[in-house]
Amino acid sequence: MQTLMSTLLLLGAIQGGITGVGLLLYAGRKNGTHWLALGVLGLALTLLRLWTHATGLEAQPLFRRLPLSFDLAIMPLAYLYALSLTAAPAAAIRRGLAWLVPWAVILIHSVFVYLASLGQGELARMDAISEQWHYSRVKYLEDLLAVAMNLILAGLIWQRVSRYHARIEHWLPEQPASLLGILKFSMALALIAAVANLIGFVTNVVLQLGDRHYISLGVNACYVAVVYIAGIVGFRLKDLPQFAAAPAEPSVPAPTESALDATYQRVQTLMQVERLYTEPDLNLNDVAKRLNLPAAEASKAIREGSGKNFRSYVNDYRIASVKQKLTDPNYAQVSILAIALESGFNAESSFYRVFKAATGLSPTMFRQTHANPASPQTSG
């Protein structure tokens, strides 16, 4: 089992190194992906430290107390990534950098202790010098801080991402809306990592069950899985559209019912006359700009006028357009996918899902059911 875990830790460290570098090169600073990349690299180095311990390399002078621990940096980097991903202002990100200070201080101490003891040769003398600089006490403090900070920051990530998700879920066009599930999963991943760190601390430090106990092995396996999954999350969420929070405005009276009705009628005109719904990447901000109104007011007018959120409202027009064309003899030879794209859908899978939810039939079945006997049909 120990050999298997050693191999798994090494593979996780290699995977983390490749993933972190890949994120930096491929996504760069887009949506703050560089913060996630640095976090993945930090976790990879931590896995490498666990590997040197599991394989007994720490008994060699060169690897004794090698400063590879980035435990205190991983969750702060994840928090900075969450801030960037959710369009936080630059000032908030600068404040978030303060969470990295404890890691930087302890890392400097670890490097100093490592260099001070490196040339001693004998392990006993290296250990003695390390303890002169209170290495064990500092590492214990690091473990305590890591548990506390990880739980706090995981909670902050959960709060930040869940609020952002609730704010933008009805603003996104259909295609990037599929990324919202991954966005929610990212905050769950942070919480899983924090809980794993807590379990590892209780197992190794409090209960002193040893790093070969099955719980410790399970925690290490969890870290390896987090490295792999975090890379997938980063590569996918680099394309998530961002919506910055609207700046604070002077207090104004809430729009009256007649004003909301007038706004809704203007939206209806945009859809029915200008056929705005045929734009595949249409979002609430686009409509609000056309109306020269705040997005919140446009959203409220649509919600109260139609009883639906923005995306459902637009999809109703798209579905109506598709249904009309599927029964039009002039479209008898046009494929169903071409009709869907012409009506504003930008993804085949989401179109079929939305259409069946609205009609209870697949597009092909709908076309066959409502076919004009005088017109030849295609299966689409």
Q: What is the pLDDT of residues 330-371, one digit of tens each?
A: 888 889 999 999 999 988 888 898 999 899 999 999 998 886
Write out the H or E segment, with its range, that includes residue 348.
helix 348-359
**Distance of alpha carbon 299 from alpha carbon 305, whole angstroms:** 10
pLDDT tens for residues 169-196? 766 665 566 777 888 888 889 999 999 9
Q: What is the mean pLDDT of residues 237-253?
A: 62
What is the per-residue pLDDT for 363? 92
pLDDT tens for residues 30-74? 889 999 999 999 999 999 988 988 888 888 888 888 888 888 999
Rg (CA), the chain: 28
For residue 372, the SS3 value is: coil
What is the per-residue pLDDT for 19? 93
Q: Domains in the chain, ordered, with CATH?
A: 2-237 (1.20.1070), 257-369 (1.10.10.60)
DSSP code at position 120: T
Q: How many CB atoms lie within 10 A of CB 335?
A: 12
**In Å, what is the CA distance from 173 to each residue of 178, 288, 338?**
9, 14, 19
**Distance of alpha carbon 265 from alpha carbon 305, whole angstroms:** 9
**pTM score over 0.85:** no
Please, what is the Cα angle at 217 between 211 and 223, to 5 degrees? 110
What is the per-residue pLDDT for 253? 52
pLDDT tens for residues 200-225? 889 888 888 876 778 888 888 898 89
Percentage of residues of the chain with pLDDT beyond 70: 91
Write out the H or E segment, with its range, that includes residue 274.
none
**Distance of alpha carbon 125 from alpha carbon 279, whole angstroms:** 72
pLDDT tens for residues 292-323? 988 888 888 898 888 888 888 999 999 999 99
- The half-sphere exposure of 230 on its side-chain side, counting CA atoms within 13 A, is 40
**Distance of alpha carbon 273 from alpha carbon 250, whole angstroms:** 34
Proportion of the chain in helix, strand, coil states, percent, rounded to 5: 75, 0, 25
pLDDT tens for residues 11-41? 999 999 999 999 999 888 888 999 999 999 9
Please state the length of the chain.
Answer: 380
Write out the H or E segment, with its range, that includes residue 67.
none
What is the per-residue pLDDT for 252? 45
Q: What is the mean pLDDT of residues 116-122?
A: 82
What DSSP assignment string belongs to 162-222? HHHHHHHTTTS-HHHHTTHHHHHHHHHHHHHHHHHHHHHHIIIIIS---TTSHHHHHHHHH
Q: What is the mean pLDDT of residues 265-276?
A: 90
Residue whose pair of structure tokens reads 């930087």 in the numeric block: 104
210: left (phi over 0), alpha (psi -120 to 50) or beta: left
- For residues 320 and 328, the answer to whether their CB atoms sit within 8 Å is no
**Distance of alpha carbon 277 from alpha carbon 207, whole angstroms:** 61
Give the burial string for 313-325 (b: 16+ CB within 10 Å, else e): bbbbbbbebbbeb
